[in-house]
Structure 1
Amino acid sequence: MGHWASRLAALPLLFAAAVLPSGPVGADTPFITLASTTSSEQSGLFRVLIPAFTERTGVQVRVVAVGTGQAFTIGRRGDADALLVHHREGEDAFVAEGFGIERRDVMYNDFVLIGPRADPADVAGAANVAEALQRIHDTQTPFTSRGDDSGTHRRERGLWENAGLQPQGRWYRELGSGMGAALNTAAAMNAYVLADRGTWLSFRNRQELDILFEGDPLLFNPYGSIPLDPERFPWVKADLAWQWHEWITSPEGQERISRHTIGGEPLFFPSLER
């Protein structure tokens, strides 16, 4: 932890004080800007976390929901106070390059390979995710890719590369869109698609789609919190961002993450449980 982190950690954390009364947020309410992922937003997670954090601290969180790559770009411009993203290599680089103070584990789930129940490429019979992608590639069965430099898209590209494949052709559709739009397109086309489990569980327009492959260790999907470094960006709300960073990784914040379920199934698992 750098000296800025040490100074911020010494701040009196509001969540250790009395709970503030809930109510409408006024125009003068303090707030931070959080650059985060469409998967976090579309899963409904922030509807669970942010009201609890605001009630505890009096600080509002305004989320800019974009792909992880775009969140890094926003952070590198200093146009947010903190990030919540899911691309570990990019997160470590962001901190190493001096844009963020530190990275902490927040939560995790996994990626799943979705496709038509008829499974024309027989990915359900694959021994691992590389073989599943090989079967899609060899049969040239339609596959929809987010194509938006999100954490999901980055993982998908890495999985193709790990399998020694370069997907291209009419069967491979790069959309440049978020996870919900990619799932809708896959449903309309009866195509395969890589999705995070949280967004899939909250997705309702499934039509003939189902989870066909899961469980490979390469599909593990951790999320990290990074407050921006005020030495690089003096205008960021460093003290408020640090309160969010501390709260979301505290037992209280972690317990709130574990509460977010659909049909009794958790969308994310708090990192404190690992």
Structure 2
Amino acid sequence: MREGKPRLAIFGDSHYACLKQADVQGLVDLSALEVEYWGHVGGRFRNLEFRGGAIHPTDDFTAQRFAKFNEKGRLFLPASDFDVILLAGARTYLARSFLALLRLRAQGPFVSRGLMSRILQDNLRDQAGFRLGAALAATSSVRVLLAPIAFYTEYPADLAQMTPEMLALAPDIVPFLWEEVARITTEAGMTLIPQPAGTITNWLWTRAEYAVAGYLAKQDHEHHNAAYGALVLTAMLDHLRRVVLPDAAPAGMLPPG
């Protein structure tokens, strides 16, 4: 590792905004790290590719959009410039896969754990952010962490999708699915930062207190607030303390100022 503070890039789609808000609002102390943000809305991820040890936009317009929101105006993201890269959201969804697999399992034992693992693996490897993260990790020059997009915010109509059979199986199946995501992520050279357990309700939804303001009126059940971002950053710091920040104080959210 280089001398000085470890360098962290937080790379993501619109879901990285809650982490940046937590940082800007001082909800988490990131002073032990040099932090950069590099990201843009998810639709632009289709215009990203990995080559030459870096993530590159495939067109000038996309490059300028990513550069606009980066402190150094970076047009591309080189793995070698950082000690750690955290993929925040980054078009990596779990919610639909978890719900579909739990529903299938509730229909009968013909869907084995092995088959569920294979479906989950294929789904993850098909997602752009996961592939980009794996490519970064394959350079062996940077530690890559993955914090997938959180479950959708709880909503009565959505919660009704959980049948009694699914609810009965959830305590067994949902932890298994998380374990498999961690395994698949590790095999791809990355480390999973799972959704903080305290933010989850009914196994597959995010508690309303972590939603963006006015989420019902906006019909935005997908994005989350600074309080959620602070919990993800705290989990990241807890991990980094064990591997690259051994002398840092215990991670934790700062009290409101």
What TM-score bracket applies, with the shorter chain setting the length?
0.3 to 0.5
Q: Which has the higher Rg, Structure 1 or Structure 2?
A: 1
TM-score (norm 2): 0.35
Q: Which has the higher contact order (CA 8 A, sep 6+)?
A: 1
TM-score (norm 1): 0.33
Q: Which is strand-richer, 1 or 2?
A: 1
